[in-house]
């Protein structure tokens, strides 16, 4: 299957290729991930997802941003006119990025937005889609990120947003696939360009290159990928997490449970 911008986010692409998002889906809930691939379940898109894409498409280009705004006008605009608060905030974040000379140089630097690459990790076809790829040396992968806060630990984790949202895993996979795709041995640079949702927005450029951590993350992929592929192919049953929206929607009561087994969990 030849991947394009039009078919990248389709069930067909999901069935043929692994991706970072799909891998993480299987880690969260195998049953939900499998149902999503089979077209049996389409998760609702949270508001943060729509706002995040609004932010991302601005850096993709004028046409891409205008198309996205037109396609999601009901979510973005108030009936009485003007944008909803979340999107006014996103505009402030975009303005903050544009006002920074270093980030502005990255935006203006020649490169390809939404660059699709394919490769193989441990015998499994893999796909990536890079926010901005700068091919000429020094090679650079740029990932635009909106975050609640750059300096405050992610809620309920005690970790930085980098660790809480598993960005070292994504960086390791992206860099490995990029090397295969380009036929090169040295790692590209991988930078997160982060803008916070605070007032005023904070911003940071986070370098993700760390060979020891990359090897660790690739080792985790190698350890888990065979099991995930077996579930994906229907060779072994998919485990239910029992907590996600899909599990709640498809849950069937079989017998009572003891009140001792009802545990309170922190809201995510």
The structure tokens 């485990």 sit at: 239
Q: Per residue in 80-117, pLDDT tens?
A: 889 999 999 999 999 999 999 999 999 999 999 999 99
Long-range contacts made by residues 95-99, C-beta under 8 angstroms, separation at least 24? 96/195, 96/200, 96/201, 96/203, 97/59, 97/193, 97/195, 97/203
Whether residue 266 has pLDDT greater than 60: no
Q: Per residue in 45-83, pLDDT tens?
A: 888 888 999 999 999 888 999 999 999 999 999 988 899
Cβ atoms < 10 Å from Cβ of 6 = 7
The structure tokens 């996103």 sit at: 90
d(CA 162, CA 145): 10
d(CA 185, CA 207): 19
Residues 6 or more apart in contact with residue 74 via CB below 8 angstroms: none
Residues 6 or more apart in contact with residue 128 via CB below 8 angstroms: 19, 20, 116, 117, 118, 119, 173, 174, 177, 178
pLDDT at 221: 97
pLDDT at 154: 72
Tokens of 263: 């545990």
Whether residue 156 has pLDDT greater than 70: no
pTM: 0.91
- Strand segments, DSSP code E, in 135-178 are 140-147
The torsion region of residue 130 among left (phi > 0), alpha (psi -120 to 50) and beta comes to beta
């Amino acid at each position: 299957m030849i991947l394009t911008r039009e078919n990248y986010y389709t069930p067909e692409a999901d069935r043929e290729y692994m991706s970072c998002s799909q891998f993480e889906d299987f880690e969260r809930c195998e049953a939900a991930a499998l149902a999503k691939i089979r077209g049996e379940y389409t998760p609702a898109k949270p508001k943060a997802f729509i706002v995040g894409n609004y932010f991302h498409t601005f850096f993709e280009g004028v046409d891409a941003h205008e198309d996205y705004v037109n396609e999601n006008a009901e979510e973005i605009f108030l009936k009485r006119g003007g944008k909803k608060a979340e999107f006014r905030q996103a505009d402030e974040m975009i303005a903050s990025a544009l006002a920074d000379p270093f980030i502005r140089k990255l935006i203006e630097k020649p490169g390809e937005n939404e660059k699709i690459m394919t490769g193989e990790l441990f015998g499994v076809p893999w796909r990536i889609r890079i926010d901005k790829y700068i091919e000429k040396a020094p090679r650079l992968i740029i990932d635009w990120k909106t975050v609640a806060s750059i300096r405050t630990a992610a809620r309920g984790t005690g970790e930085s947003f980098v660790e809480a949202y598993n960005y070292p895993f994504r960086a390791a996979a992206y860099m490995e696939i990029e090397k295969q795709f380009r036929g090169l041995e040295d790692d590209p640079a991988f930078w997160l360009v982060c803008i916070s949702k605070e007032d005023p927005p904070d911003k940071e450029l986070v370098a993700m290159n760390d060979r020891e951590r990359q090897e660790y993350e690739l080792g985790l992929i190698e350890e888990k990928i065979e099991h995930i592929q077996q579930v994906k192919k229907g060779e072994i049953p998919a485990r239910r997490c029992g907590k996600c929206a899909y599990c709640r929607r498809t849950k069937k009561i079989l017998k009572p449970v003891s009140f001792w087994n009802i545990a309170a969990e922190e809201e995510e």
